[in-house]
A = this chain, B = another copy of it.
Amino acid sequence: MNPVLVEVLRGESLESSHRGSIAVLDADGAVLARFGDIDRPVFPRSAVKLLQALPLVESGAAERLGLTDDELALACASHNGEQAHVRTATGMLAKAGLDLSALECGTHWPSLDTATRALAAAGREPSALHNNCSGKHSGFLCLACVLSRGVDLRQYVKGYVGPDHPVMREVTAALQAVTGFDPTSAPHGTDGCSIPTYGIALRQLALAFARVGSGVGLREGHARAAQRLRRAIANAPFMVAGSGRFDTRVMQQLGERVCCKVGAEGVFCAALPDRGLGVAIKIDDGNNARAAEVAMAAVIESCLRLSGLDAETLHSLSHPRLRNWNGIGVGQLRPTSALVNFRL
């Protein structure tokens, strides 16, 4: 039974609560903090996009195509579908000699409501470029430029989302190398954007992010690729998520001290390079928008020594006020006291 991590108050009363588990590890595998079960496999979903982008850099594809910080950050993104995200994904595909017809992530309206309404107001429909995963998929297609070795690229990339396609085999191999999970025995499923997702324990995910933040325990190519991707994200945090989003706000404020990424169904991973720590969170009920974010903000507060505007920003994210349609304060989200009171 995992503990309650986040509470929802209406007035002064508890209205709802979120249980879950958290692992905080260093790159040697030492568990420095744990809440609940950290050994059950969970589907990390989009929280491991940075790990899935390692082959893009290690293979030399990113360098060969001259991918910018914006583009590398977008390869690790669950973006809002704002104009800048769509434009950047379009540019990545163009560098690969492809266009949006190669994307196999599917189409949805932009995640950001104002971006959706702007599109509708212009009389337009969304494309696969608006899919929150279009940057990751554009990164896969850039990786394919190197892997295809002269084969016609448009033919080569067909079905790249399948687990046995060479592109996806590279991606899964990187995930395996960094987390230590075993794809032959792990639970498996299909992600929202149609690529495979595998069950991996929080202990392994936190270890992977400690490694990504420090380079310790990674082969040299992965260590260099991780450093390059972290720098890109720190330089372009808007690309990883977008307007108003947690990941963007945290990294705009804290820079390279945090490299965090939300995933669907209440998963959240982060590297805290200054402290040599990796963090992995899973909310039992799958809520990210409030529960996983509040828990991650609380863990960051507990692990980093923040002051001034840094501390204020993180406190506003760990204790958000809830307002109704008239702007009246009706309640609050807050981490439970166990989560607030641990210090590393």
Contacts and interface: CB of A to CB of B under 8 A. Distances in A.
A11 B123 contact: no
Contacts of A66: none
B189 A13 contact: yes
Contacts of A328: 190, 194
B324 A190 contact: yes
A1 to B, nearest CB: 7
A325 B13 contact: no
A199 interface: yes
A330 B191 contact: yes
Interface string A278-297: 00000111110001000000
A259 B131 CA distance: 38
A91 interface: no
B105 A109 contact: no
Assembly of this chain: how many copies? 2
B108 A325 contact: yes
Interface in A273-315: 283-287, 291
B121 A15 contact: no
A42 to B, nearest CB: 8
B190 A330 contact: yes
Nearest to A264: B15
Contact of A193 (B105, B189, B325): B325
A331 interface: yes
A120 B115 CA distance: 11
Nearest to A17: B284
Interface string A13-46: 1011111000000000000000000000111000
User: Chain B CB within 10 Å — which of A10, A104, A197 has the most?
Assistant: A10
Interface in A36-72: 41-43
Contact of A325 (B11, B107, B197): B107
Interface string A89-123: 00000000000000011111100010011101101
Contacts of A120: 116-118, 120-121
Interface of A: 1, 8, 10-13, 15-19, 41-43, 104-109, 113, 116-118, 120-121, 123, 131, 187-194, 197, 199, 265-266, 283-287, 291, 324-328, 330-331
17 contacts: A10-B43, A10-B265, A11-B187, A11-B189, A12-B187, A13-B43, A13-B187, A13-B188, A13-B199, A16-B284, A19-B285, A105-B325, A107-B325, A116-B117, A118-B120, A120-B121, A193-B324
